[in-house]
Amino acid sequence: MLISQRSSRPSNAIFFDGLIASILKAEGRLAPCVPEEGVEEFLDRTDANSVSPLVCYLLKNSEMWDLWPLKLRQGLEAISEKYIAIYLVRKMEIENILAVFSKENIENILLKGFPLSYLVYPSAYLRPSADIDFLIHERDNEKIERIVKNLGYTVPLQVPSHEWTAVKKDAHQIRHSLDFHWKISNAYTFSQMLSFEEIQKKSVLLPSFPGSAKTLCLEQALFLAAIHRTGHHANESRLIWLYDIHLIFSRMQKEEIDSFLTLAKEKKAAAICLEALTLTKEWIGTAVSEEVLGRLKRDKEEHEEPSASYLKRGNPRTRDLIHNVKALPPKERFSFLWRYAFPGSEYILKKYSCHNRLWVPVLYVRRGFEGLCKILKRT
């Protein structure tokens, strides 16, 4: 359950998250149940779950809007107006970037929240995104870095992985963050599940968006949403991610659902997909049939699924390291651990703001000592 998985939060946060989920489940047709003294925390939790514009939209489109406290309504409207402004600026930014990519013949596919806002939401501003995710070819990394730097972006220190980030603040002081992936996940277990070619073959044009922007088809979008919350976010159940799953599944036809179930079985991720749909059905009221859930249950029991271990509790970084090592072919494990313990000298020099390469061995020792201190602190 959502609450049990996030029980480390204060009880008030759990209560308000449950209330917000009830609003989403009832599509806004819920009688007011937030006292005046709880309005600020309610607004904080809608924002923490990235559903403020969505809650405002659903309540406004129900007969209950005028019954909710004035302070709550004004707060939701203020937050929604902020997100609308951010959305309009960010939309122009992405249009510009995609136009340059098209001119430079850079193949890319939009992932996660931003394209979902166009693909399944009534209005794109209802689905806020902290960053914009692109799936690219690894060979295009240097070319893309040059392009985004020319557009005013900086590339901060990057931990060695299957992605890198570029950021900037524009004239409106709005922060833009671009994540460029050449694998769908940094965790080895998930990174091999969908290739660029598999996604490109079934990709669809982004509706109501200028140009020829592409994103995942519905069944692959649902699959990625399920594994992303588990493999990248330590099985966290932020309400906006569950609502993504709700809207995607609700749009799918029978043949698309069948394709999704086949994908979950073939990629040995039935357990993760089962939990994602079960949580979404429980908390958002998604109409997932027992037939669909039953098929996922059978598939997870028939085959051993290494990805299912990600559903267990534990320190995310330690867990990811252990899972990555286990998932790798034996011949690659030592080199992976070596790269993890001793990343490239350029990374070390940049991390510690050092320009003298003679200090690299000393900096590696410092990195090891700091890592040991963190381990001892956790224990």
> What is the per-residue pLDDT for 77?
97
Is the per-residue pLDDT at 7 higher than 50?
A: no
Is the per-residue pLDDT at 12 higher than 90?
A: no
pLDDT in tens, 66-83: 999 999 999 999 999 999
pLDDT in tens, 202-256: 999 999 888 889 999 999 999 999 998 886 555 567 899 999 999 999 999 999 9
The DSSP annotation for 120-176 comes to TSSSGGGS--SSEEEE--GGGHHHHHHHHHHTT-B-----SSSEEEEEEE-TT--EE
Q: Six-digit token pair at 268?
A: 């040995």
d(CA 85, CA 103): 28
- pTM, entire model: 0.83
**H or E, element range at 179:** strand 175-181
User: What band does 3 get if pLDDT is binned at 50, 70 and 90?
Assistant: very low
Phi then psi dihedrals of residue 294, to 5 deg: -65, -40
Crossing angle of helices 254-266 and 270-284, in 10° steps, is 140
Of residues 321 and 176, more confidently modeled: 176
Q: Which CATH number does 2-311 carry?
A: 3.30.460.40
CB atoms within 10 A of CB 94: 23
Q: Residues 6 or more apart from 78 whose CB is under 8 A from it?
A: none
pLDDT in tens, 21-52: 999 999 999 999 888 899 999 999 999 999 99
